[in-house]
Structure 1
Amino acid sequence: MKIKAFLLITSLLPFFAAAQGNNFSLSGKIGSLNAPAKAYLDYMDNGVNHEDSTILVNGAFRFKGSISGIASARLALDHDGGGKQRAVYTGDVIYIYFGKEQIMITSNDSLENAYFSGSNVYNEFLAYNKKIGGTIMALTKAANADFNSGTPEQQRDSAYMKAVANRFRNNIKARETKQFEFAKANPDSYFGLVALSESAGSDINVAKAEPVYMALSKNLRETDMGKELAQRIAANSATAVGATAPLFTQNDVVGKPISLESLRGKVVLVEFWASWCGPCRSENPNLVKDYAQYKNKGFEILSVSLDNSKENWLKAIDADGLPWLHVSDLKGWNNAVGRLYGIRAVPANFLLGKDGKVIASNLRGEDLNKKLASIFNN
């Protein structure tokens, strides 16, 4: 009877798995690592970010879940208990795409040297990168190797460093050109959409990008990435100098809705930032000075955070002493206002006149100081 019960339970396992909605698994075997070694998976599915982590046991780890289509992911491996931040920014990390698949990653030592099996999406990703000249990480690694190939004397020479930097920029530019050509040639490929989205960047050339976007298959345009790219194309003209800035409402730190329209009659700096953004934080002291100088003359700052952690957001506001208006939906890069304004990098900002029209964008430091002085000191 016990055997029959066991067989019954075993036969039902696939049903239970399906009921739980798991349609992908990502398993790994990296050497023989054990605790405190830990793997961290962050993946974006249809505009929604997911985070997971697991401890390695004899090198093995496994993630599973449900996705609606193809997910973009960052997989980081903390070898010695240093934590997620170190693993992500200075450790063993890879960026991948996967679908509704059973994926296996194996390596003797690291994710960087791992072999993938079971993923057609990953194989397409490899073929795509071969066509365009490699990933950004690969080009960065090559640039570092280029620099390190020089003698100690060369590495201290500004002309040598400039030459290395120029070669890196040229490689990035060549990659973007190949991405655009790939998008034109592959309108039915998910990576055609990826290629167009990446090569278009923030400062989109609408006349160039829009026809290629419209040639993409309808199902690609209806993905979250496709919709975000459409928003970026639209934002190019909606946020141009002289245009009336798109209106929005988002909650502040205590959940109170703040609307941009309610600030009409003031000169407003719509500032996109995040607690984790070093350049944003380094600009904050300048903004504090400008706010103190002009707030009584009709100047307001409305900061839109691309954080997804309320705790980190509030800590940064307090630590930097930022006394102006703050809003966020805590959806990270998927922030609704960020998408509306076509934001792909922070810091970014738009200076609006009393009538709500865009006066200038991406002013920082002395450029912002001079612009505000010309507005308020005349």
Structure 2
Amino acid sequence: MTPSPVLRCTGTPENNLLELYRNTIERPYNLKKKGKSTEDADRIVLQEYQATRQFIRQHPTTLTAAYLLYWQAMYDTTIFDQLDKLLANLSPSVRASYWAKKAETRMYAIRNKPRIGKKLPAFSLTDVTGKSISLESFKGKYLLIDFWGTWCIPCIETIPELKAVHTKYGNRLAILSIAMERPADREKWVKAIHKYGMTWTQTAEFTSAKEGVNVLYNVVEYPTLLVANPDGIFMARIKYGESIDEKIKRLLTN
């Protein structure tokens, strides 16, 4: 795990502790991964995660622990129960900190993430024209939800394929694009919609609030593409690089 270098501490004890983590865990494990096969590197990453959790467990009264816990929850969601216990083990003052709150929000997303075969969580957004949009707005049609951002190059690269799918399956498939943008970038978002000819339903979130759809749907990478059936049941997640057309064709045929 390589945490973001944006932890800001006011006291040298926190700085020293973070440096201790980097010297004893992060950097040594990064060196171990060099030149290894994917399989061996993945095994080393799991060892690094385990060592990181132990480090968090040993320092529950520090902001560094909350910071590392957040990034642990971002990268490894397979051990949710352990992460939940680590969060609960933080001291009250640390639990109230910025990074602990971010970790808590992330845990909420993991706990409530959409599951294949289950109905997608309800949401309400406003589209680019000011119209209210919800999951129920698309009832009766297959729905492709596109989580993207104007700042995301892979997202932009996906747009031509989305346009082709929209043209090919538009009578049976609706597309909803949900952009994650900064509040200051609303105009940039609107311009991008017109620039790239995104003629399907366009909405955006200008916040990462706990109730946001990006959080509710456990979106941590962009683009993320989800498909629901006409009753709002979650059918599939399309990974970046997969053929959107082929995936949609199979889902509509089955």
Residue 223 to residue 305, structure 1, CA distance change in 2 (3 Å): farther
Q: 1:325 aligns with which of 201, 208, 211?
A: 201
The reply on whether 1:271 has 2:182 as its aligned counterpart is no
Does structure 1 retain, via aligned residues, the 8 Å contact 2:14–2:62? no
Equivalent of 2:17 in 127, 130, 134 = 127
Residue number in structure 1 paired with 2:248: 372
Q: 1:262 to 1:229 in 2, by over 3 A?
A: farther
1:240 to 115, 122, 129: 115
Match of 1:249 among 124, 139, 146: 124
**Alpha-carbon distance in structure 2 between the residues aligned to 1:172 and 1:129:** 19
CA distance in 1, matches of 2:132, 2:109: 23
Partner of 1:342, secondary structure, is coil
Residue-by-residue CA offset, 1:78-112 (whole Å, 9 max, x unaligned)? xxxxxxxxxxxxxxxx73414xxxxxxxxxxxxxx
| Corresponding letter in the other structure for 1:304 | I
* Superposition RMSD in Å: 3.3
Q: Considering only CA atoms, is the larger Rg found in Structure 1 or Structure 2?
A: 1
Shift of 1:264: 2.0
Quote the residue 1:214 is aligned against.
88
Equivalent position amino acid for 2:6 in 1: Y
2:8 to 97, 106, 112: 97
Aligned-pair CA distance for 1:223: 4.8
Any conservation in 2 of the 1:271–1:347 contact (CA below 8 Å)? yes
Report SS of the residue matched to 1:255: coil
- The SS at the match of 1:375 is helix
- Higher relative contact order at CA 8 Å, sep ≥6: structure 1 or structure 2? 2
TM-score (norm 1): 0.55
Report the equivalent of 1:146: none
Counterpart residue identity of residue 227, structure 2: L
Q: Cα distance 1:96–1:226, how it changes in 2: closer, same or farther (>3 A)?
A: closer
Amino acid of the residue matched to residue 113 of structure 2? A
Once residues 25 and 245 of structure 2 are traced to their aligned partners in structure 1, the CA distance between those partners, rounded to angstroms, is: 38
Matching residue of 2:71: 198
Structure 1 residue 314, shift from structure 2 partner: 1.5
What residue in structure 1 maps to residue 35 of structure 2? 163
Q: What percent identity do the matched residue pairs reach?
A: 24
Structure 1 position 363, deviation (Å): 3.3
Helix, strand or coil for the counterpart of 1:245?
coil
| Match of residue 314 from structure 1 | 190
Cα separation, 2, equivalents of 1:126 and 1:317: 46
Structure 1 gaps of 5+ residues are 1-73, 75-93, 99-118, 144-161
Q: 1:176 to 1:132 in 2, by over 3 A?
A: farther
Return closer, same or farther for 1:377/1:344 CA change in 2, 3 Å cut-off.
closer
SS in 1 for 2:205: coil
C-alpha distance in structure 2 between counterparts of 1:369 and 1:124, whole Å = 50
1:302 aligns with 2:176: yes
Higher relative helix content? 2
1:336 aligns to 2:212 (yes or no)? yes
2:237 to 351, 361, 364: 361
What is the rounded CA distance, in whole Å, between the counterparts of 2:93 and 2:140 in structure 1?
Answer: 43
Cα distance, 1:335–1:254 mapped onto 2, change above 3 Å? farther
Residue of 149, 154, 177 corresponding to 2:50: 177
1:350 is aligned, of 226, 237, 245, to 226
Query: How far 1:359 sits from its partner (Å)?
Result: 0.9
Residues 218/258 of structure 1: CA separation in 2 closer, same or farther (3 Å cut) = farther
**TM-score (norm. length: structure 2):** 0.79
Taking a change above 3 Å as real, the CA distance of residues 207 and 293 of structure 1, as seen in their structure-2 partners, is same
User: SS in structure 2 opposite 1:163?
Assistant: coil
Q: 3-state SS of the aligned residue for 1:97?
A: coil
Per the alignment, residue 70 of structure 1 pairs with none
Q: 1:231 to 1:266 in 2, by over 3 A?
A: farther
